[in-house]
Chains A and B, each alone.
Chain A
Amino acid sequence: MPEESPHARKPIPPAQNYTENILRFMNEALLVVKPDTTISFVNNASLLMLGYTEEELIGKPLRGIVKEWESSFLHAWFNNLNIARFINGIEETYIAKDGKNIPVLFAGSTMVDAQGEIEGVICVGQDITDRKRSEVDLRRAKDDLEIKVKERTAELQTSNQQLERELTERKKTQLALQEAYTKLKEAQFQLVQLAKMEVVGRLASGVAHEVKNPLAIVMQGVEYLLKKIPRDDPQLVTALTSIKEAVERADTVVRGLLDFSAMQRLTIEQADLNSIIEKSLVLLKHMSDKYKIEVSKELKEDFPLLPLDKNKISQVLVNLFMNAIEAMPEGGALTIRTYLHTLKEFKPGIGRRWEDVFNLGETVAVAEIEDTGPGIQQELLSKIFEPFFTTRLRKGGTGLGLSIVKNIIEMHQGIVEIQNKEDPALGLKVMLLFKIQRKDGSDGEKEDSLYR
């Protein structure tokens, strides 16, 4: 909008003609231009806007007041007046006499004579300086806003990255915590197991004494009665025989408990594992014959002497042989091997950690017992070393056998591994791994006193 109303100055005097007065006093800057682009009429608003006098403007070409005329839309239109008779809403820039740029919203229409020839062009310009300024302000505000948004976005991104980093850290911490928790649980479980075993051990001696004495009385009493009752009463004989068998069964359980409690002492000497195996097999000859078991031995010659408690290892072997034989009631094959083996695979207890029983690359002595029985269900394999776990509860198993085996082997700083053979129908393989040298490097004999 012009700063001052054109009515105030009236540089062009009012005309007599009413219509011309309208044109002179209208608010928009009006220029009438001939087809050759020279100005033929101006109104007050134009003079006020451009700062020229009427005389200065009449006859002046448009190029003098339209900025960058050659490239302006107006110039293009003037070259095509016959095609486009009017234009509207075009933004152009006028140059005032003092050189000031004035943005205008331009509307133009052609004026034709009676013959239809273009007589002139009516150009109306509305000063949009204020609007432009607002637009600039707006754009600046928008730019500012954009900058702020960008800054804020960047800040958000930074804090987001920070958060992600923290989240990752937290996840790591959480994982570590979980791992620690699992380890703690395991340790706790092992402690509980240990505590259980200690309690079992302590209880065993007490229970054995308290139970075995009454059992002894029952046994003697039953035998006395068996002699005294009339022989022709088979039911009485059956009843008493059953009592006697029950006493024997109870005694087996108590003896198992005692074995368990006797686990904590070893008498170590340099011993020949092969000969312990031979002697243990002799003990079970009647059993393997009865079950029609084909026993084969593949014992390595010149096997090194090992630091062992002969009696306890014999107990282990008898236990394992009995398990194997009982797993093959219809007959089968029992194979016992001894050999030296260099450990090449990480396994529980085999590795490079200080708590590992064997180091990777260490050569160990192995006793391997293989049967052709039905094996053990894979999901039960992890439980078979637990005290009181048994698959033969109804057949008189106490469930202490394999836990004792494991205990004895571990006291020897060894490992017992049980695995189903690749084809489970082919039975079970038990491997006992022994140190050739004790962990402290001694041959074991000097350490005897510690283990007694």
Chain B
Amino acid sequence: MANPAANRATLPITTPLIEARAVRKTYSFGAVPVEVLTGADLSVQPGEWVAVLGSSGSGKSTLMHLLGGLDRPDINGGEILFDGKPISVTHGKRLDGYRNRDIGFVFQFYHLLPELSVFENAMLPGMVGNWMTGHSARRATARESAGALLESFGLGHRLAHRPGQLSGGERQRVAIARALVNSPRVLLADEPTGNLDTVTGAGILDLLAERHAKGLTLVIVTHDPAVAAHADRIVKLDNGRVQ
């Protein structure tokens, strides 16, 4: 397991890799608007592991979706920056490319495609993209990368299996391999151990720590302080703000 204290001590102060500035997000449930984020600020340095800790309904997942470009803040509701550039005003292909190349998502319920094999699921992000921009070369790289990741995660013998034939821990490892296949700079994980038993969950955290040790920036949202404790830094989300 990585040593969070040691990592914290060695982090240089640089431009944040990913940043949320005074982000507000409101959902409408029928006629009733519910403000989930009320001005959340978060700054994550390159190579940092940040845990966002919060209770259920505190807006953790919403913050993660906003950081990952799946959702947008309210109008005039702050901004999300990646490498110093705002992504919340980015549209179309650039935003798709951001999600494909710069970000990797890991979800609580794995979210693997049941029709595809383990290997196909893992290399799926490598198959997504614009063929006009050297996509085929990237696909070949993704194929190699997916094989190597699954092998290193102990799933080399499961490549042709379908997700339905795997255990929960194996599925989550496939999901992590998928998130890493395009070598993203940030991995966003939403309760990655939330659906696993303690031992399996610990294995997943070890795996994440291992990637973090190799320089991967991690943002994990969780309600579990034990999971958050693995991070370099813990921030709490309460009443729609980062405390």
- A and B physically associate: no
Question: What residues make up the interface of B, taking CB atoms closer than 8 Å to A?
Answer: none
